[in-house]
Amino acid sequence: MTPATKTSTASLRIVEGAEAARAEVIGRQPFTEIELPEAQQTSITELWGEPLSATEHVARIIAEVAAEGDAAVARYSQRFDGSSYDTIEVSRDEMGEAFATVPQEQLDAVEFAVNRVRQYHRAQLEHGPQSFDARGTGMIVRPLQRVGIYMTGSDAALPSSVIHTAVPGSVAGVDELIGVTAAMPDGRVNPLKLVAARLAGVHRVFRASGPQAIAALAFGTETIPRVDKIYGPGNIFVTLAKQQMFGRVGIDAIYGPTETLVIADESARIDLVAADLLAQAEHDKLSTSVLITNSREVAEAVAREVEVQLETLERGEIARAAITRGGAVVVADLNQAVELANEFAPEHLCLLVAEPDELLPQVRHAGGIFVGESSPEVLGDYTAGPSHVMPTGGAARFASPLSVLDFLKITSTVRFDEHELERQGPYAALLARSEGLTAHASSIERRIEGK
């Protein structure tokens, strides 16, 4: 096997060797630097009367929300969503109608998923940080007071994303969860999304989407309350808005398009490998699906199977575009496969190999690891339990999936008696004077001298 051989095979390209993998498959461009599609760029130019970057476009929307509040939120949300409505907040009647509209089998599925995710995060909370007070110092662990849940999805409702974003906050004990979401053309919010929001613990839902929704949550408007932190994935404009609002409000993370890396050997079922690659590819044309295998035959067979399965998908055009962004990499052995996987640090890592437990200890960087053919990543999207909101773009090198910990904050406490003050004080005062901070030193010395 030569170190850098490439073969074009319909949608799924095949390369050989680590060098070719880095150059052509697992290399990344920052999500926020991706060039906008022509239609979006044209729309931005028409809106502002001049060509603007995505960053400039988002900044102008944020400024108008800061100045105009609800009026700007409604204006831009309705323009971009193609919707029309008079009331921003979803009423109790509309919420009730949603429960009456959603078929029972879908309601059962939502309830099942909510319960699974809630059970997992309750166990996670039990293993999380606890308040303590020891020898005069300690910490208080409290949930945040009010948070915003960006309920992503416009063309697709994505109730699963609502569940996986809101349930950890509900389990953590957040006082108030505020949901924002795109409306449908008639002004209603997708009923399945409303059902998911209510069962997941969201207290209020507002018709607001895109950067204007992020700005509304950060500033507060006449109708939408200001929150302490904003959670949830969204498109590039939502992501840029979260970046620009960070500091005024907390954010969970910066999320880019979804990505999956599958490590497979000759024992893997070819149709399952292809299915796992396509499951994430159908999300978005900017999604990335990567196969790493120690078998050229497996790579070629998967490439053929991808073509077969693409023809059966409702979102086949989207999936095909995404598949071309990734590729299949043939490596010398599975150890090298894990090495490249760690380098890529994928959101999802699927181990479709004969002995996955032998590889598991070597995995250092992944948002979630799906071990064996009976643990497909799609279960993680819906019912497995851990939040499917995971680090993307290589952030798994330093970041974690969304969890109850993201909805908690720690306050340090210091409570000493006079003896401890006198024991520590001279050292602290000496350090303060060595830094030239005489007021600091005086604050301590006055206490000790006044005894």
Phi-psi category of 436—alpha, beta or left, where left has phi over 0 and alpha has psi -120 to 50?
A: left
Helix (H/G/I), strand (E/B), else coil: 148? strand
Q: How far is CA 370 from CA 237, 333, 343, 379, in A?
A: 30, 20, 18, 9
Residue type, 49: G
Q: Which residues of 183-213 are buried (b: 16+ CB within 10 A; e: fewer)?
A: bbeeebbbbbbbbbbbbbbbbbbbbbbbbbb
For tokens 């071990």, name the residue.
371
Question: What pairing do the DSSP bridges indicate for beta strands 229-231 and 204-207?
Answer: unpaired
Q: How far apart are CA 65 and CA 90, in angstroms?
A: 20
Q: Which H or E element spans position 29? A: none
Residue 94 tokens, joined: 């509309």
Provide CB contacts within 8 A for 344, sequence distance 6+.
Answer: 26, 261, 290, 365, 394
Which residues are marked as active site? 347-348
Q: How far is CA 252 from CA 206, 233, 395, 408, in A?
A: 20, 9, 13, 12
Phi-psi category of 69—alpha, beta or left, where left has phi over 0 and alpha has psi -120 to 50?
A: left
